A and B are shown apart, each in its own frame.
Chain A
Amino acid sequence: MPRNRFTAPLLHVGSCVNIMAKSKVKHAVGAPKPSSTSVKKNQLSYDDDEDELFEDDTVISASEDEGGSDDERKHRKLLEAISSLDGKKRRKLAERSEASLQVSEFTVSAEGAGEKIRLSDLLGRMDQVPSAVSKTKKQLKHLQNRKDTVELPLSRQQSEKIQREAAYDKATKTVSQWQPVVEQNKRAEQLIFPLNQEPSGPKRVEQVVVGWKAQTPLEQEIFRLLHKNMQPVHDPVLTPLEEASLKAMSLEEAKIRRAELQKARALQSYYEAKARRERKIKSKKYHKVLKKAKRKEFLREFEEMRESNPAAALEELKKMELARMQERMSLKHQNSGKWAKSKAIMAKYDTEARKAMQQQLEMNKELTQKLVVPSEEEEEQEEVEVEVLPDFVNEAQSVTDPANPWMTGRLTQEPSEPGDNGEEPMMGDKSQLGGVPEEEEETLDDDEVLLRQFDEKRKLRQSEKEGLVPSLLLLDTDTLKEKEELVVDSSEDENEEDVSEFNSLFLKVVKDRCQAPVAETTKVEPKGTEKEEAALLEEGPTRVVTLEDMDGLLSQEASGEDSETANQTVPPPPAVRSSGTTSQQGQKSKKNKRRKVIDCNNVLTKEARALEVPLLPTVIDEEENDVDQKLIIKEAFAGDDVVSDFLKEKRQQEEAAKPKVVDLTLPGWGEWGGVGLKPSRNKRRRFRVKVAPPPPRQDEKLPTVIMSEKRDSSVAAHQVSQLPFPFENPKQFERSICTPIGNTWNTPRTVQKFTAPKVISQVGAVIEPISREDSLGGRTQSATGKAPDIQLPTGGAKGKGPHKERKLGRLNHSQPSKAKRTKAQAQ
């Protein structure tokens, strides 16, 4: 509207300005005085104001025209009279009719100037408006009779003010459309000037193709053909047929299948790796044990199979039978070979040899064992009983001390003490049942134990790698003391925190044990004496006991992991279990002791409170005044002990203020560095800087005051004193400072991202002011007409690779403008 108004008056400046002003006034003022129009509304049944006016005019003029063309003057007079009555609305219409030849005052069209007006047309018009004359007359009469005065038009100043306000509002509104763009630019991470540049460099196919249309006849024909035959236009790789075949296998199926394959592959590789690892283990014992375990497993399965699938079981049985027969035929494992004989000679003196022979025999025994049918068991036993070790071997075995756990192959199983009441009946049962089955059981157990041992060892190795020292488990009490000294040394070392922690824990345990009350002394005393005596028999049990005990304590003391490993490594022996109550007592007493320490503190603080706190007298007064009150308060604040809290806090602050040892060792300087390698002890000692003790605290002598000594005036000169603007809390600011942005700490890509400047202006490029077309929309693609011939799938149009990045990097202008554009389209 405003544009039209502006361009038209360029021709007739002066008059138009007037018109505009008047029309403005009409619009602005027209609303509050509807008197004249309302009058007419009663007469005419038209709704619209403009239409009404127009019709009104025609009615009058038509009636006048009837009189003849000669009294034009009269007509004009009449018109003027009417318009002067009505106000300014009339004149505008009159002038408008003058402006164009095409529009007639009358509803009759005046298109062809030469065309004659037929009377019938006019008459027809008259017919359409019945009693027009009378109506006009009435109207005129009414106007003449009207008494009320027309309101004065507004003064020029006032009307101008109203105009100004309206215009200002309009301008404000248009200008406010820029708000989102301005905000966007304010928030943009990066602005590149000049704005809205066309990105240089090669364009994507999509960009090029989107606007392309078939123009030459040949192209058009080709496209027509392609479209007709449903041939792909933009992706000639797949024809519809191929696509259909692709569709046959749904995506989800394919995905599931792929996942399965992946899983299978992963499992396979995992098993392969495992097998390789196991193959690499050189320990014969391990393999032996493994084999045994496998066999056992196989037997178990066989048992199951016998019940579930007898035919297969029979097959298996046959196989086993065959193996047994072969074994029985061969002299393998019979201790009759050359090697066996040589071993037999040595067996008397060498426990190793003896063991080897025994194992051979065991092997034989196992292989020749008939196991399936339960009724055959007795025979089997007999058979086994027949094959006994050679006498001398047996003798040798009897010579070895039964206390040695290595000989029996049972590490954890405790040699039964005659005094022990827990084990005795069981042992008795077993001995009654007979030696051989027990032995078998034992061997089986042995296998398990050995396997477990391997596991343990591996775990130990791992934990050693991690820096823990579980080798402590194997230490004697003597070595423990040495260790203690070591630990005292190394406790200063902060690098080996975990180790020292572990050690200190351990030491604590040991100390506790040493200080332990009467219940434990019985345990400790024999340990000491017997050690001095160095009796082999006794040494075993004591050692184990201490370890077990220690483990038990550790498992309670140390964190979950440690306790787990400890539990796994050595299951608590019955001997300890029997004395468990005592040890538990010991622990309890120790705990009590700890409690006591805290209690002491509390007691102290409470005493101190009575002396130190100046507030206390008032409390006492109150106490004197009202005991109930005090009780109530006491009840209410039963939980919190303010004074001790305060003291605790103060102590903490003091601790925190104490200078710490600074470790300046840099790994890898002067020696090899890397994962798992630690700088040498010597170096660490060299680079550990001990800070001189600080001057005494200012609040040292003030018990009720904590004076923070964090602020250092010399440093404060370099520190930020106030929180800078965009940050909301100090932590945020600190974080922003602490994040390094240089290439010493970051990869080049990150550095580039961090250091991207906020504003980039191209050298030598004129930066135009932001324009409405580019930023708020105006150029629309739909305006170009018909759709392009090559239409790309919307999914594919989402950019890939560097172009997308570039687009994102290049000012987020394009997006708001796009959004705006769509909005504009919608409007």
Chain B
Amino acid sequence: MKVKVLCRNPDDYVRETTKDVQRVPRNYDPSLHPFEVPREYTRALNATKLERVFAKPFVASLDGHRDGVNCMAKHPSSLSTLLSGSCDGEVKVWNLPTRKCVRTLQAHEGFVRGMCVRFCGASFFTVGDDRTIKQWKMDTPGYGEEEELLNTILGKTVLTGIDHHQKESLFATCGQQVDIWDEQRSSPIRTFTWGVDSFSCVRFNPVETELLASCASDRSIVLYDMREANPLKKVIMSLRSNTLCWNPMEAYYFTCSNEDYNLYTFDMRRLDTPVTVHKDHVSAVLDLDYSPTGREFVSASFDKTIRIFPKNMGHSREVYHTKRMQHVICVRWSLDSRYIMAGSDEMNIRLWKANASEKLGVLTPREKAAQNYSQKLKSKFQHHPQIRRIAHHRHLPKGVYLQKKELQVMTAARRRKERNVKKHSKPGSIPTVAEKEKNIVAVVK
């Protein structure tokens, strides 16, 4: 007679070492695991709540400046180095992991208006109110050595911004005109003017490295090709743009921060209509910087907040503020796309996480898997009202909150008026202007 017994192979259930994860045999028969959608919904809800619970974006504050931080620069190869220039002409080099200032320079008299690091990371340039361009060594001088300047160029006029070429030893400054300099020369190799008396910002395109763009005080944004004698094109907006930044992954997109509380993303091939208008700030936007992945950018505003916008979304996904952070003048996104540095009026530089609820440090594979899963769940159920409500809720300072409400009322009123005017005038006599195009005055060829 044959006797049948249950056969158990220890290999199937005994782990090899105690560090192994217990093997759990699973039956994926869907009838054994009912209610998949409600269960996943609940998980998504919990994940969203937990995300809000763990949203602690503030990492550190770097204090040491004795005046408002006016400009900042990232080191192109060292993630731990940050340079900042203040309104009293002091430049500080910071070590981010230790959160300490490693070097202080009295670079200029008056404001340090702009600074940039050479592409190799060996030296950096500063421009100041004292009409000079100064080149400094990145390395700290040894003990007892004098702080030494590599190079000083005396400009004829006040310079307000500087940016370095991505690969060549060229840099661009702006002031009354946009100049292209060779590092070896004391006079600019190219000068661009187009009937504007002052520029506030000039930026090289990091991808198509010969292209530049600048913001001018006549409310225009001007494009240049370094190889050409003349500028390329300019677009005039209703209010002045303060800064602009090119998308590092998409050559033809750039975003500018405007005085009219909005940011505008342009396709440089079609300047007459911005691709996206990013609204959420309640005061002038002073600075912005793209994430190195090119998918998001951060903006600093006079309304004492920092906002993070996805590159193609009209509204921000995140807003950072603290009680003590005053008008944020400059902001940078770190080159590993994980941190945001914001320099503000009240002499501090603050370090934020780019993802508020991200866990810092090394993640175990299981943690990573869990994180991925919850991330996916959140995005899967993001349209469900309860989840969206929790995910989108942000606490705002009272001033900002009230201002936002007020702005809403104002825009509604404006829209209503527009509608009424249209309604009470001859059909076709009042043209419909798209919301995006409202703030574009003209494109000058």
Contacts and interface: CB of A to CB of B under 8 A. Distances in A.
B249 interface: yes
B95 to A, nearest CB: 15
Contact of A740 (B37, B79, B335, B338): B37
A17 B189 CA distance: 10
Given A763-B336, A766-B335, A767-B292, A20 B36 contact: no
Nearest to A724: B383
Contacts of B207: 178, 769-772
B373 A191 contact: no
A767 B36 contact: no
Contacts of A21: 229
Given A193-B292, A742-B373, A754-B376, A720 B383 contact: yes
A59 to B, nearest CB: 34
B275 to A, nearest CB: 12
A530 B43 CA distance: 70
Nearest to A3: B227
B86 to A, nearest CB: 26
B28 interface: yes
Contacts of A17: 190, 229
A759 B445 CA distance: 38
Interface string B420-445: 00000000000000000000000001
Contacts of A24: 229
A717 B373 contact: no
Contact of A178 (B189, B250, B375, B385): B250
A164 interface: yes
B76 A766 contact: yes
B28 A174 contact: no
A171 B373 CA distance: 43
A745 interface: yes
A318 interface: no
Interface stretch (A5-13, A286-294, A632-640): A5-13
A172 B293 CA distance: 23
Interface centre among A3, A738, A741, A771 (most CB of B within 10 A): A741
Interface string B366-399: 0001001101110011011110000000000000
A666 B225 CA distance: 71
B268 interface: yes
A172 B223 CA distance: 11
Contact of A168 (B28, B77, B233, B386): B233
A208 interface: no
Interface string A160-174: 110111011011101
A168 B223 contact: yes
Contacts of A255: none
Interface string B27-40: 01011110011011
A101 interface: no
Contacts, number: 168
Interface residues of A, number: 67
B414 interface: no
Contacts of B66: none
B227 A755 contact: no
Given A740-B37, A767-B335, A171 B251 contact: no
A657 interface: no
Interface in B43-65: 43
Given A10-B189, A168-B223, A752-B369, A745 B36 contact: yes
Nearest to A757: B372
Contacts of B232: 164, 167-168, 171
A188 B317 CA distance: 22
Contacts of A718: 384-386
B2 interface: no
Nearest to B35: A740
Given A13-B189, A163-B229, A178-B252, A720 B269 contact: no
Contacts of B182: 10
A725 to B, nearest CB: 9
Contacts of B225: 167, 170-171
A20 B229 contact: yes
Contacts of A736: 380
Contacts of A768: 292
A231 interface: no
Nearest to B45: A718
Interface centre among B231, B233, B250 (most CB of A within 10 A): B250
A515 to B, nearest CB: 41
A258 to B, nearest CB: 34
A769 B292 contact: yes
A207 interface: no
A737 to B, nearest CB: 6
A755 B336 contact: no
Given A10-B182, A766-B336, A720 B372 contact: no
B206 A769 contact: yes
Contacts of B79: 764, 766
A399 B298 CA distance: 107
B295 A759 contact: yes
A422 to B, nearest CB: 54
Contacts of A705: none
Given A744-B39, A757-B375, A759-B295, A6 B337 contact: no
A168 B445 contact: yes
B445 A765 contact: no
Contacts of B377: 741-742
A755 B369 contact: yes
A721 B389 CA distance: 14
A479 interface: no
A175 interface: yes
Given A178-B251, A755-B372, A161 B445 contact: yes
Contact of A769 (B166, B223, B386): B166
A233 interface: no
Given A761-B336, A766-B79, A746 B28 contact: yes
Interface string A1-42: 011011000100100010011001000000000000000000
A183 to B, nearest CB: 10
A568 interface: no
A343 B254 CA distance: 108
A747 B385 contact: no
Contacts of A756: 372
Contacts of B372: 755-757
B208 interface: yes
Interface string A62-87: 00000000000000000000000000
B252 A175 contact: yes
Nearest to A2: B227
Interface string A383-404: 0000000000000000000000
B147 interface: no
A165 B443 CA distance: 12
A164 B211 CA distance: 14
B310 to A, nearest CB: 11
A558 B407 CA distance: 72
Contacts of A766: 76-77, 79, 292, 335-336
Given A717-B386, A759-B293, 20 more contacts: A2-B228, A21-B229, A171-B268, A174-B208, A182-B249, A193-B292, A668-B32, A720-B384, A724-B383, A745-B33, A751-B369, A751-B373, A754-B376, A755-B369, A757-B375, A763-B336, A766-B77, A766-B335, A767-B337, A769-B249
Interface of B: 26, 28, 30-33, 36-37, 39-40, 43, 76-77, 79, 166, 182, 189-190, 206-208, 211, 223, 225-233, 248-252, 268-269, 292-295, 335-338, 362, 369, 372-373, 375-377, 380-381, 383-386, 445
Interface of A: 2-3, 5-6, 10, 13, 17, 20-21, 24, 160-161, 163-165, 167-168, 170-172, 174-176, 178, 182, 185, 191, 193, 666-668, 717-721, 724, 736-738, 740-747, 751-752, 754-757, 759, 761-772
7 contacts: A175-B269, A721-B385, A724-B383, A740-B37, A755-B372, A757-B372, A770-B251
Q: Across the A-B interface, give the 7 residue pairs with the lowest CB-CB distance, nearest first.
A: A767-B292, A769-B248, A769-B206, A740-B36, A755-B372, A168-B232, A178-B251
